[in-house]
Amino acid sequence: MCGIVGYVGKQKASAILLEGLKRLEYRGYDSAGLAVEHDHAFEVVKKVGRVNNLVAETAHHRLAGTTGISHTRWATHGGVTDANAHPHVSSDGKFALVHNGVIENYSGMKKFLLGQGYKFLSETDTEALVNLIAYHYKKEVDRPDSSRFLESVRKTLRHVEGTYGIVVLCTEHPNELVAARKGSPLILGIGDGEFLLASDVSAIISRTQNVVYLKDGEIVDVTPKNFTITTLDQADVAPVIDRVTWTLEDAEMGTFAHFMEKEIFEQPLALENGMRGRFSEDQSTANFGGLNLTPADFRLIDRIYFCACGTAWHACLVAEHLIERFARVPVEVDYASEFRYRNVPLRPNSLFFVISQSGETIDTLAALREAKRKGHVTAAICNVVGSTIARESDGGIYQHAGPEIGVASTKAFTSQILIASMFALYVARMRDMSFSDGVQYVQALKQAPDLVRKVLEQAPHIKEIAKRYAHHHDFLFLGRLSLFPIALEGALKLKEISYIHAEGYPAAEMKHGPIALISENCPTVFFAPKGEIFQKVVSSIQEIKARRGKTIVITTEGSEFPAGLTDEIITIPDCHEAVLPIVAAVPVQLLSYYIAVELGRDVDKPRNLAKSVTVE
């Protein structure tokens, strides 16, 4: 969850660290801090609250050094206090460390270190880690000075149970950083006479586009002139330098009020990028070379298993509907956080698919590894090139949606649905979908960006609806078939950014319990597109109105309702079933966004949440 930035080079470190933290604040904003090494000593500044609080506090400090580390925190161990903020300094004053992850055996470490005379000033697991490094450094007194720092960190990490992405400073090794990862992302940026370390590319993109994605169990030793990568077992690693394809401007807010608003309106472009170059020459199917599976391989697959968390789990539910509907392959969906602890009887010819925007979601990564351990073919839908899930899956599909900064996912979600819909077509055409049906399907997918643009034109209308309903404390979202997951997503969006209680259900399930909640004070958002079950949904709306409930209906063009049945109507274009969930998701994104704005919420940084969940 937390954000990490490290710097070693010729420039003043503090300004670069603070800039990076501002770009990483979506990963955690309980507190922030930095440590700069200068003249064999640390200057440490830590402050509860947003990065701007830290910026204000640093104005009272010199911070002259050219090597430093920084951190923006999402609290796990210990409350939100200045003392618990990172960086943490060893009790002998020689080491400073920032950490993302959870050290599961920290209490045993702490007990041992207290017995050795080390002092603790915080409630965190991280402080045990930095003091253990100091302990091993003291024991390594006979080791050559050039490797003593690195080997002390290496020896410490061999005792660690849990996850970490760390960057460490040492007063006796000026202008040197040691960093390592296991389960938490860490990236090395290669600049002009400088190196940067970060938990996310967005923190360093203003200074370099050349990066090395560190793998689990790797340690990097960095000076202003060079870097070396080794493993915990001291094996040398040949670095693979990748180039980030997006620019700083892609991660800027521009003229929008919030990143979430920007990303909602970027969806047509994200959809276009997700489709680019992925249709066959005859325009009857999709192409996914990165899956590393032949048509013959797909003919053998008799079940597809999807795992994800949060919004991505909702995308999995849409994938289930579309794949079963068009490809006629059974699909099962599970929460990644539950999968690894269940003894799921996967069939031999199953394809195990995961979805993760960041490619670093710890529960999803653990589920992927469990499936691989049991010998299953794995695949992933990810948005971040070089991410851990993208590297460890047997094959995958990149979304190419561009950086998503807002904590509440929008463009990544609709992009995931698009990829799932294209995948449904891909499998269907290998089985029994006809050429003409495939061509029609592709044409429908290509229309998706323009259909979303038409929905976005209704933003002023949806904003007015939001103003009328922002004072309510409970909402229901109801949909059927492929729009049931969109109802779940609409409820989640409203909860995430407005803090209003909301629930999503299949529309037909309303009378099996949720109807007890209906009153004038609990509006219901209905998805009611034209189709074979339109009248069934209309009947559900009538049941709500009979109990004096207010109704906001999202429907397709040409639909007709009995007079007085709907309090509000949002009309979306009539479209193919393959793209309907994408188009239907946009109104509830806008509704949730405008309600949150009306209530004065911090839309991009909702309380208690962070963008990428990298701790279990």
Query: Nearest 5°: phi and psi at 597?
Result: -65, -45
Out of 2, 307, 316, 575, which one is annotated catalytic?
A: 2
pLDDT score for 614: 57
d(CA 507, CA 519): 17
Decide if 423 contacts 288 (C-beta within 8 A): yes
Per the prediction, the chain carries an average pLDDT of 90
pLDDT above 60 for 615: no
C-alpha distances out from residue 439 to 17, 267, 445, Å:
51, 24, 10
pLDDT score for 613: 66
pLDDT above 80 for 593: yes
Q: Tell me what percent of the residues of the chain surpass a pLDDT of 70.
A: 98
Give the range among 128-137, 252-261, 451-460 with minimum mean pLDDT: 252-261
Q: Quick one: average pLDDT of 517-544?
A: 84
DSSP 220-272: EEE-SS-EEEEETT--EE----EE--S-GGGGS-TTSSSHHHHHHHTHHHHHH
Exposed / middle / buried, residue 614 (Cβ in 10 Å: 0-12, 13-18, 19+): buried
Give the range among 209-218, 533-542, 584-593 with minimum mean pLDDT: 533-542
d(CA 406, CA 262): 9
Angle between helices 267-275 and 435-456 (to 10 degrees): 160
pLDDT above 70 for 552: yes
pLDDT score for 356: 94
pLDDT above 90 for 184: no
Task: Determine whether 467 is an active site residue.
Answer: no
Q: Quick one: average pLDDT of 545-554?
A: 86
- Encode pLDDT of 57-74 as tens digits: 998 888 889 999 999 987
Angle between helices 311-322 and 411-430 (to 10 degrees): 30
Give residue 188's region: left, alpha or beta (phi > 0; psi -120 to 50).
beta
Task: Determine whether 611 is an active site residue.
Answer: yes
- The third-level CATH classification (topology) of the domain covering 3-250 is Glutamine Phosphoribosylpyrophosphate, subunit 1, domain 1 (3.60.20)
Out of 495, 550, 605, 611, which one is annotated catalytic?
A: 611
Q: Which residue has better confidence, 25 or 406?
A: 406
Q: pLDDT-based confidence at 610, cuts 50/70/90?
A: low
Q: Establish how many alpha carbons lie within 13 A of residue 132's alpha carbon, considering only the half-sphere containing its beta carbon.
A: 22
- Encode pLDDT of 376-390 as tens digits: 999 999 998 888 898
- Encode pLDDT of 73-118 as tens digits: 877 778 889 899 999 999 999 999 999 988 999 899 999 999 999 9
Long-range contacts (CB closer than 8 Å, 24 or more residues apart) made by 570-574:
570/458, 570/461, 570/462, 570/465, 571/458, 572/451, 572/454, 572/455, 572/529, 573/451, 573/454, 573/455, 574/529, 574/530
Residue ranges covered by each domain of the chain: 3-250, 259-598
Closest C-alpha to 189, from 248, 242, 252, 250: 242
pTM over 0.85: yes
pLDDT score for 385: 84
Give the range among 20-29, 42-51, 174-183 with minimum mean pLDDT: 20-29
The DSSP secondary-structure symbol of 214 reads P
pLDDT score for 612: 62
pLDDT score for 362: 87
SS3 content of the chain, % helix, strand, coil (to 5): 40, 20, 40
d(CA 575, CA 591): 21
pLDDT above 60 for 131: yes
- Report residue 116 CA to chain centroid gap: 40
Q: Quick one: average pLDDT of 553-574?
A: 88
CATH class of 259-598: alpha beta
pLDDT above 60 for 168: yes
- Encode pLDDT of 292-328 as tens digits: 888 888 888 889 999 999 999 999 999 999 999 999 9
Q: Which helix H or strand E contains 439, and what residues bound it?
A: helix 435-456
d(CA 603, CA 367): 30
- Encode pLDDT of 487-504 as tens digits: 999 999 999 999 999 999
